[in-house]
């Protein structure tokens, strides 16, 4: 029996596994306000008609809402990305239709910052090579020359938003000399967080021992760390990316790792993820963690609650927040 309540559609890829397949959390937040329906689709499948009728769409990662999909939306009052990144939504096309696109920018701040630091520490302290050595029943500590004191190293943050700031403060607390580059944050930000601001990305790349990427994926940042930028880095440096895979070009990064022109990389995300070949997976001095930096039960509850509250406001005709278009 169809409901008389407006529809909130939760759109997710068929491969996605829910810990709450009945969306009980979303239904609790939207109780009495909207019908909640989960719609699973393949990445290249057309959006079904029930999504076109929804007054709000909560979008998990994967399916793309392009201009064609947006033209078919008949009643939509908000598209909410269940996460930080919103590059899977044509925000301009939505704006032309008067549809707000919102995200949940703060749910995974702690988790992603912690994950970036974990990747940095694993590389700086050579945890994986030492683990492999011990499990070969060896005890030679062949990587000892790569195990530097943290307070002798510079930690460079690219993008000082919520997560970048959280990572910078963690790095600072661990004793790294911490610097950042972000042309979009206001003057004086460096004084507020007590770290040094560098004038250019090139300067940060040339001088940092760890480069940690924390900027959103935009036309400006897509592929902006490529062969030229990687060549600027010290051969002893490490590159960390917990932001978006398409910010860092995979081919020149993996080539640099194979040629010992870069000491290591810790990637939660990769360009055209996941890894595609055995050759990519065999890249030396590479840690890859399955786009899982955001994961924690606590973070999932916070994210889903926030997106559901935005959807509730939208279907009630109230102002929404975290709008990105």
Report, as an integer, the average pLDDT of 65-90: 93
Average pLDDT over residues 210-238: 97
pLDDT at residue 1, as a whole number: 43
* Options 244, 271, 302, 312, the catalytic residue: 244
H/E stretch holding 228 reads helix 227-232
Q: What is the pLDDT of residue 135?
A: 96
- Give the per-residue pLDDT at 203: 98
Task: Name, in order, each residue with C-beta under 8 angstroms of 8's C-beta and a sequence gap of 6 or more.
Answer: 26, 30, 34, 35, 36, 37, 54, 55, 56, 57, 58, 308, 311, 315
Residue 281 belongs to what H/E stretch? helix 278-281
Instruction: Say which DSSP state 69 is in.
Output: H
Annotation marks residue 220 as catalytic: no
Categorize the per-residue pLDDT at 52 as very low, low, confident or very high, splitting at 50, 70 and 90. Answer: very high
Superfamily of domain 7-107+297-315: NAD(P)-binding Rossmann-like Domain (3.40.50.720)
pLDDT of residue 4: 87
pLDDT at 25: 95
**pLDDT at position 91:** 96
The pLDDT value recorded for residue 42 is: 84
pLDDT of residue 186: 95
Confirm if 263 and 235 have CB atoms less than 8 A apart. Answer: yes
Instruction: Please give the pLDDT value at position 3.
Output: 67
Residues 67-91 have a mean pLDDT of 93
State the average pLDDT over residues 4-11: 94
Whether residue 99 has pLDDT greater than 70: yes
More confident residue, 106 or 141: 141
Question: Phi-psi region for residue 256, left (φ > 0), alpha (ψ -120 to 50) or beta?
Answer: alpha
CA torsion, points 270, 301, 20, 46, in degrees to nearest 10? -50
- Return mean pLDDT, the chain: 94
Residue 257 and residue 284 in contact, taking contact as beta carbons nearer than 8 Å: yes
> Active site includes 258?
no
pTM: 0.86
Q: CATH homologous superfamily for 109-288?
A: NAD(P)-binding Rossmann-like Domain (3.40.50.720)
> Which is the catalytic residue, given 40, 61, 190, 291?
291
244 is catalytic: yes
Q: 179 pLDDT exceeds 50?
A: yes
Overall average pLDDT of the 136-140 stretch: 93
Q: Which of 273, 280, 309, 323 is catalytic?
A: 273
Mean pLDDT in residue range 27-49:
91
Kind and range of the H or E element at 45?
A: none
Percent of the chain with pLDDT over 90: 86
State mean pLDDT over 50-78: 93
Q: How far is CA 119 from CA 71, 101, 114, 301, in A?
A: 42, 32, 9, 25
Domain with CATH 3.40.50.720 in the chain: 7-107+297-315, 109-288
């Amino acid at each position: 029996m169809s409901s008389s309540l407006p529809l909130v559609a939760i759109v997710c890829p068929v491969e996605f596994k829910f810990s709450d397949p009945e969306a009980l959390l979303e239904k609790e937040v939207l109780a009495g306000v909207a019908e909640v329906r989960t719609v699973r689709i393949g990445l290249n499948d057309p959006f079904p008609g029930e999504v076109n009728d929804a007054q709000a769409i909560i979008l998990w990662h994967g399916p793309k809402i392009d201009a064609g999909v947006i033209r078919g939306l008949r009643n939509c009052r908000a598209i909410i990305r269940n996460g930080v990144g919103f590059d899977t939504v044509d925000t301009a096309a939505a704006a032309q239709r008067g549809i707000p696109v919102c995200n949940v920018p703060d749910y995974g701040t702690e988790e992603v910052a912690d994950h970036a630091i974990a990747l940095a520490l694993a590389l700086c302290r050579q945890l994986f090579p030492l683990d492999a050595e011990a499990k070969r029943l060896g005890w030679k500590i062949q990587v000892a020359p790569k195990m530097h004191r943290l307070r002798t190293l510079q930690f460079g943050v690219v993008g000082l938003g919520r997560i970048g700031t959280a990572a910078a403060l963690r790095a600072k607390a661990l004793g790294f000399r911490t610097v950042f580059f972000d042309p979009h944050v206001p003057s004086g930000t460096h004084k507020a967080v007590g770290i040094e601001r560098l004038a250019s990305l090139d300067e940060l790349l040339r001088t940092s021992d760890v480069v940690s990427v924390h900027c959103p994926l935009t036309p400006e940042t897509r592929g902006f760390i490529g062969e030229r930028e990687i060549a600027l880095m010290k051969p002893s440096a490490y590159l960390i990316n917990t932001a978006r895979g398409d910010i860092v070009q995979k081919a020149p990064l993996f080539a640099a790792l194979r040629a010992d022109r870069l000491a290591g990389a810790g990637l939660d995300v990769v360009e055209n993820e996941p890894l595609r070949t055995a050759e990519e997976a065999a890249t030396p001095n590479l840690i890859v963690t399955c786009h899982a930096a955001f994961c924690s039960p606590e973070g999932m509850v916070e994210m889903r609650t926030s997106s559901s509250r935005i959807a509730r406001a939208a279907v009630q005709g109230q102002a929404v927040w975290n709008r990105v278009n």
